[in-house]
Structure 1
C-alpha cells in the first residue's frame, strides 16, 4: 500500500516537472523569436479595430433602419385624416398638403408656387428618379368634375416649366373625356378616390399604374352623385 502511494507521488512529481519544463521551453521560444511579436501585435490591433468598427456600423445601421421605419409609420398615421377634413382646407392648405405628400414619397426640391402669376402650377419638384414635375391642385366640391380644358392648361404649364411629368390632384373627379385625355398626353390624374389612397400611404408613382381609371362604373357614379350631389 505504501509502495503504491509512493508510486503515485512520483508520477505527480514527474508531471509537475514536465509542466514546468514545457512552460520554460515556451518562454525560451518566445524570447528567441521576439522579432515576430511587433508584427503579431499589429495584426491583433488591426483585427480588434476592424471588429469594433464592424460592430459600430451594424449598430448604426440598425438604429437608422428603426428610425426610418418609425418615420414612415408616423407619416402614414398623419395621413389618415379623413377627406372630409381635406374638404375644409383652404386652397393654400391643400397645396401644402400635396407638397407634403410629395416629400413623404421621396420627392426633392419640392416647393409650393401657387398664387397670382403661378403660370398654372401649384407645386414644383423633382421625383425620386430625378425627373421634374409640375402639379396642379384643385380643392373643389366632390360633386364637381374636372373638364378637359383644365388639363390643357396644365399641359401649357408643363411646357412653361419644362417639366417631365404633369400631375393633376383634385378632391373631386374628372369627366369621361378628361380620363381619356390624360393618359394620352402623359398627365397623371389623382382624383378623390386616388387622393384617399395617397393620403393613406400609397406612393404617388404607384397611382400611375391605374392612371385614367378608378372612378368606377355607372353604379359607382350613381352612388357618388347620391353621396355628394351633382
Structure 2
C-alpha cells in the first residue's frame, strides 16, 4: 500500500473512531439527562437550518453581483434613420447627420474599404476619411449649405492645405448641398492637383446610384 493510501485509511479510521465516541457520549447523555439532551439537539438542529439558509442566500446574492450589467441591462439596437434620396433629405439633417450620411454614401462604393466620420472641433477640414481598397486615402469636407449659400475659395484653400500634409491623404473632396462660388472654382483650377468639387446636382446623381467622385 502506498503512503498516500495509508494516510487516507488512517484518516478514515480516525474519523470513524471520533463519530463512534461522539454517538456513545450522546447515548450516555440521553440516558442520564434525556430532557436536557433533547433540548440541546433541537437547538443545534435549528441553528444548522438557519446557517444553511443564510449560506444559500449569500451565494445567490454573490451570483447576482458577478454580472450585474449582463443581468440588468438589455441591449437595444440603435435606430437607423432613412437614407437620404434627394437634396431635401440632406438639408433636413443637421451638420453632424450630413457628415454621417456622406460617410454612408461613400461606403456603398465596393472599392471603398472604410469610410469614417471624423468631423468635430478642430477637425482641420476632415469631416470624413475614406480608405480605398487600392491603398488611396481621401479627405471629404462636408458643407450642408442652403441654396444660394455657396462654398467659398477659402474652403478650397483650407482643404488643399491640409489633406496631404496633415491627413496624409492622396485626394481632397468637398461635398455640398449648394454650389461653389466662381472664385472657388477658379482657385481650384489653379491648384497643382485640383480638388474634387461635388455640388448639389452632382450629390443627387451620386445618391441615385451614380459613380462616386473619385471613380
TM-score (structure 1 length as normaliser): 0.53
* 1:160 and 2:154 aligned: no
Report which of the two has the higher share of helix. 1
CA displacement 1:176-218 (0-9 Å, x = unmatched): 1212322443200000110110110012136x7xxxxxxxxxx
Residues 166, 187 of structure 1: 8 Å contact kept: yes
Cα distance in 2 for residues equivalent to 1:89 and 1:101: 14
Determine the structure 2 residue equivalent to 1:174: 180
Cα distance in 1 for residues equivalent to 2:177 and 2:149: 9
Residues 85, 204 of structure 2: 8 Å contact kept: no
* 1:92 and 2:100 aligned: no
Q: Residue 201 of structure 1 is aligned with which of 195, 209, 214?
A: 209
Determine the structure 1 residue equivalent to 2:127: 122
Give the 3-state SS of the residue equivalent to 1:205 in structure 2. Answer: coil
CA displacement 1:42-67 (0-9 Å, x = unmatched): xxxxxxxxxxxxxxxxxxxxxxxxxx
Q: Residue 155 of structure 2 is aligned with which of 117, 140, 150?
A: 150
Deviates further, 180-189 or 157-166: 180-189
How many positions carry a matched residue from both structures? 130
Unpaired stretches in structure 2, ≥5 consecutive residues: 1-81
| CA positional deviation for 1:95 | 0.3
Distance 1:176 1:201, change over 3 A: same
Residues 79, 200 of structure 1: 8 Å contact kept: no
Deviates further, 182-191 or 98-107: 182-191
Give the 3-state SS of the residue equivalent to 1:160 in structure 2. Answer: coil
Unpaired stretches in structure 1, ≥5 consecutive residues: 1-77, 209-230
Residues 120, 154 of structure 1: 8 Å contact kept: yes
| CA positional deviation for 1:79 | 5.6
TM-score (structure 2 length as normaliser): 0.56
| CA positional deviation for 1:136 | 0.2
Distance 1:183 1:98, change over 3 A: farther
Residues 99, 123 of structure 1: 8 Å contact kept: yes
Cα distance in 1 for residues equivalent to 2:152 and 2:200: 15
| CA positional deviation for 1:127 | 2.6
Determine the structure 2 residue equivalent to 1:110: 115
Cα distance in 2 for residues equivalent to 1:171 and 1:80: 12
Cα distance in 2 for residues equivalent to 1:188 and 1:79: 23
